[in-house]
Structure 1
Amino acid sequence: MADLLELPAPPATGVRATTHSKPGHLEIDLDVTSEAVPIVRTIVRAHLKLWDLHGLTDPVTLTVSELLTNVVKHVPSDARTGARSARLTVTRLPEALNVCVRDFNQAFPVPTCTAADAEDGRGLQLVRAFADDFGWAPANGGKDVWANFTIPSDKPSEGPRSREAS
């Protein structure tokens, strides 16, 4: 099991999170910090491996990184605790994988048209490019930002059938 959770060295400041997992569903409540993002990415990668979704690892972990980084950059910290709380859910559906980040800020994301070589502001463009579907909606005093990824079929594609001559 150790190879599934090759966690980076623990950050000096600590990361606060609670993880709930059952087959096909991962839920992480966390205080989102830049130190937490790579740890959460590792946990998501491990679950995709357990669910035999290796082909989705790169686009899904990139999406998780971008959505959590947007929380760090754009969600104000709680005045009392100083935290930026969010919930990440990753859910395996029959033909798709859903990734959702719920934060507690009602301001919707604002997609921008940024140059391909820009160092900042391309996160939602990347999510839109990698996901098969993407969007956001209001949710309990905040919002859900979500992306869906089609699960590749494990059935080999059948070519045209030929008729045998009698």
Structure 2
Amino acid sequence: MRKEQVLPAIVTIAILSAVVLWTSLRSNNEPTQKNSKPDEVVWALVRSCREGDVEGYLNCFGSPMKEKLERSLKEQGSEKFRSYIQQLIVPVKGIAVFEPKRNAQGNWQVVVEFVFSDRTERQVFLVRKIGNEWKIVGVESSKPVPVLIPYGTPVKGL
């Protein structure tokens, strides 16, 4: 190799090494557990409702909410409870999940807006990391927000 080719070869090797190192460090630092962000448990809840996954739905909650839901499951039976959670999500036309914020008690507040054809409802989910998973530990009552134009109104009708 000639002298003029040595420096570019060294620079190329150094750059490639840096890229490989950066990529390997980045992939090793990415979280591997599910529900790695506070708001992901809300999406898991929505998915469980849509699929009628009772076990998945219950696993989104922490105590004491989970125990209350399990009592309800025992009282209603599996099929009726499955139908109930599926019906919760049917009228929802859209979902907006806002950036989670930590509150004074150490929980995370995840504000979620559920868009229905005639209204929007805002709910605040209180989320806490239990073990390696985020769990819903509280839900503030929903606040309906009236809409000026109902969802699905044709543009010509405006």
* Fold in common (TM above 0.5): no
Kindly indicate which of the two structures has a greater share of residues assigned to helix. Answer: 2
TM-score with structure 2 setting the length: 0.29
TM-score with structure 1 setting the length: 0.28
Bigger CA radius of gyration: 2
